[in-house]
Amino acid sequence: MKNIIIIGAGPAGMTAAIYAADSGLNVRLIEKGMYGGQMTTTARIENYPGFPEIAGWELSQRMFDCVTKSGVTLTTDEVISISRSDSLFKVICRINTYEADAVIIANGVKRRKLDVPGEKEFAGRGVSYCAVCDGNFFKEKDVAVVGGGNSALEDAAYLCGVCKRVYLIHRRDEFRADEKYVRALDSFDNLERVTSHVPVRITGEDVLSGIEVKSTKTGEAHTIPVSGVFVATGLISDNDAYSEFVELSDDGYIESGEDCLTSTPGIFAAGDTRNKKLRQIVTACADGASAAKKALEYLNGVG
Ligand code: NAP
């Protein structure tokens, strides 16, 4: 039986694992963190067909149940790099090295940092990148959310239900987020929009006590007193481990089309990690299925 390794257990990786296992391949799914990827840090998902509304953790669990039912080998490890000898790929991880005839990279993306003084110092002690995971630590406290996309507005809405006051800091006047998220902000009387402001530093002595922001219009700075800062400024590629094997775009995503082929035969890319226009759960799942199908063709010598 041919072996395939799938790197990353978000929706793309889990779908690829299900399709590959159902095709009769011996599947190892490697994940360094939580099964579900970004879904696990999303409070509610409202645009995945079949579920008018579902918690991120629950959709993750349902997908994971399908994976375990398919007889996939689950491995908790972190990929460092890939090497190759003849037609066999070696996936080198922190704990072990695993061999396979084909590899699907479905490692997703990582969060963009603010890169301002105080961010590193207070990371995990007031600065958070996951409102759903850490919001409860700030019950009845004042917090700030930075960003203007869907994630920031979702986070702000979620935190309005938990915290006393939520300052939504965005560098422009208009939000990038979908209209429904922007409209939803009007229903919260404990939300304050701080638009056309950029974060300058995160302040505090032993504990985080505020975020200094500067107006992009007047250049004036002021400090907003908060106990927590939630950063939701978007996602960036995370493909350094694979750069020797697959061609990357200027911003580090794996060059690959809808067929999930990469510049190296036998290595496929699925989900947010590849250069694509629409990054959604449903498009990640679609990639997972396509990548598994293409991998099967490659292993059968017809791809
Ligand atoms: P995003 O859409 O890229 O938004 C990032 C936001 O952060 C933008 O408003 C951006 O400002 C701001 N920003 C970037 N760098 C910054 C900096 N250094 N300082 C201050 N602000 C900064 O990222 P996202 O919200 O994480 O969403 C990522 C993807 O996931 C998107 O495709 C999104 O649609 C998708 N998503 C979908 C859903 C859903 O469908 N339910 C939910 C969450 C996320 P500018 O606007 O000025 O560039």
Q: Hey, which residues does 143 pair with through a beta bridge?
A: 166, 228
Which DSSP letter does residue 32 get?
S
Residue nearest to atom 24 of ligand 1 (CA): 234
Ligand 1 nearest-atom number relative to CA 112: 15
Ligand 1 atom closest to Cα of residue 198: 20
User: pLDDT (tens digit, 9 = 90+) per residue, 16-25?
Assistant: 999 999 999 9
Calculate what percentage of the chain has a pLDDT beyond 70.
Answer: 100
Catalytic residues: 130, 133-134
Give the distance (Å) from ligand 1 centre to CA of residue 133.
19
Q: How far is the CA of 200 from the centre of ligand 1 (A)?
A: 19
Rounded-to-integer distance, Cα 229 and Cα 113, Å:
12
Q: Which of 176, 181, 195, 278 is the best mutation target for the ligand 1 pocket, counting ligand atoms within 8 Å of the beta carbon and taking the most?
A: 176
Of the chain, the percentage scoring pLDDT greater than 90 comes to: 96
pLDDT tens-digit series, residues 239-268:
999 999 999 999 999 999 999 999 999 999
Beta strands in the chain (DSSP E): 3-7, 26-31, 44-45, 54-55, 73-76, 79-85, 88-93, 97-100, 102-105, 110-111, 127-128, 142-146, 165-170, 191-195, 197-204, 208-215, 221-225, 228-231, 235-236, 267-269
The whole-model pTM stands at: 0.88
Average pLDDT, the chain: 96
Tell me the torsion sign for CA atoms 83, 77, 16, 276. Answer: negative
**Ligand 1 lining (C-beta closer than 6 Å):** 47, 112, 114, 146-152, 154, 171-172, 176, 198, 232-235, 279
Which residue type, as a one-letter code, is found at position 101? D
Q: Check pLDDT > 70 for residue 220.
A: yes
**Res 303: pLDDT:** 67
The domains located in the chain, with CATH, are 3-109+237-299 (3.50.50.60), 119-231 (3.50.50.60)
Q: Write the residue with the smallest CA distance to atom 3 of ligand 1.
A: 234
- Structure-block tokens of residue 225: 């007193």
Q: What is the mean pLDDT of residues 135-146?
A: 97
The whole-number pLDDT of residue 210 equals: 98
Tell me what pLDDT residue 87 has: 86
Going 239 to 243 to 246 to 250, the CA torsion angle's sign is positive
- What was the pLDDT predicted at 72? 97
Yes or no: say if 29 and 75 are a contact pair by the CB < 8 Å rule.
Answer: yes
Per-residue pLDDT at 300 exceeds 70:
yes
pLDDT tens for residues 37-61? 999 988 889 999 999 999 999 999 9
pLDDT digits (tens, 9 = 90+) for 149-183: 999 999 999 999 999 999 999 999 999 999 999 99
CA of 48 to the centre of ligand 1 (A): 19
Calculate how far, in angstroms, residue 42's C-alpha sits from the geometric centre of ligand 1. 14
